[in-house]
Amino acid sequence: MSSATSRQHLISFKKVKGNNMKFEIDKVVTAETERCSDLHGVPVEDMEALLHDRIVSEYRGEAWKDMRHQWGANDAKRDGDKTLSDDVEIYADLDYKTPGFKREGFGHVKEYASVQSGNISGNKSDYASNSRFDIYKPVKPGAYPTLVNIHGGGFFYGDKEIYKFYCADMARRGFNVVNFNYRLSPENKYPANIEDVCACMNYLKENADELDLDMDKVFLTGDSAGAYLSVLYCVLAGDKKLRDKVSFATSAVMPRAVALNCGVYDQREDPGSMLFWTLFNSDGSLAAEKADSVIFLDTLTYMDGTFPPAYVMVSVNDDLKSKTDSLISKFKEKNVRFTYREYGAEHPENGHVFHIDVTNPEAVECNDAEAEFFKRFI
Share of the chain residues as helix, strand and coil, in percent rounded to the nearest 5? 40, 20, 40
The pLDDT confidence band at residue 281, using thresholds 50, 70 and 90, is confident
In this prediction, residue 27 carries a pLDDT of 29
Residue among 23, 21, 1 nearest 12 (CA): 23
CA-closest candidate to residue 272, choices 69, 32, 36:
36
Least confident of 9-18, 115-124, 167-176, 187-196: 9-18
Number of alpha carbons in the 13 Å side-chain half-sphere of residue 36 = 27
- Among 41-45, 87-91, 341-345, 369-373, which stretch is predicted with the lowest mean pLDDT? 41-45
* pLDDT surpasses 70 at 2: no
Rounded Cα distance between 133 and 183, Å, is 12
Dihedral sign for Cα 17, 19, 21, 27, please. positive
Average pLDDT, the chain: 81
Q: Determine the average pLDDT of the residues in 113-135.
A: 51
Task: Give the residue extent of every domain in the chain.
Answer: 85-375
CATH code of the domain made up of 85-375: 3.40.50.1820
Q: Is the pLDDT of residue 90 over 60?
A: yes
Q: How confident is the model at residue 51 (pLDDT cuts 50, 70, 90)?
A: low
Alpha helix (H) residue ranges in 238-281: 240-245, 273-279
Instruction: Say which residue, 223 or 126, is predicted with more confidence.
Output: 223
pLDDT of residue 31: 32
The answer to whether 296 and 190 have CB atoms below 8 angstroms apart is: yes
Asked if residues 233 and 194 have their Cβ atoms less than 8 Å apart, the reply is yes
Q: Tell me what pLDDT residue 154 has.
A: 93
Question: Would you state the pLDDT for residue 47?
Answer: 61
Per-residue pLDDT band for 116 (boundaries 50, 70, 90) equals: very low
Per-residue confidence (pLDDT) for residue 63, from 0 to 100: 78
Amino acid 48: pLDDT: 58
Span 315-321, mean pLDDT?
Answer: 94
pLDDT at 41: 59
Nearest to 269 by CA among 327, 230, 214: 327
Query: Which DSSP string corresponds to 125-172?
Result: GGGG---EEEEEEESS----EEEEEE--STTTS--GGGGHHHHHHHHT
Q: Residue 67's pLDDT band (boundaries 50, 70, 90)?
A: confident
Query: DSSP class of residue 230?
Result: H
Q: What percentage of the chain reaches a pLDDT higher than 70? A: 75
Question: Can you tell me whether residue 255 is helix, strand or coil?
Answer: coil
pLDDT of residue 60: 47
What whole-number distance in Å separates Cα of residue 146 and Cα of residue 99?
A: 21
User: pLDDT tier at 85 (50, 70, 90 boundaries)?
Assistant: confident
Higher-pLDDT residue of 7, 178 = 178
Q: Which residues pair with 25 in a beta bridge?
A: 11
What is the phi/psi pair of residue 12, to 5°? -145, 160
What does the pLDDT read at residue 269? 78
Predicted pLDDT of residue 352 = 96
Lowest mean pLDDT across 129-143, 153-167, 297-311, 338-352: 129-143
Residues 6+ apart with CB under 8 A from 206: none
Q: Is residue 342 scored above 70 in pLDDT?
A: yes
Per DSSP, the three-state class of 51 is: helix
Buried b (16+ CB within 10 A) or exposed e, 88-124: bbbbbbbebeeeebeeeeeeeeeebeeebbbebbeee
Which band of pLDDT confidence, cut at 50, 70 and 90, is reported for residue 365?
very high
Confidence band, pLDDT 50/70/90 cuts, at residue 232 = very high
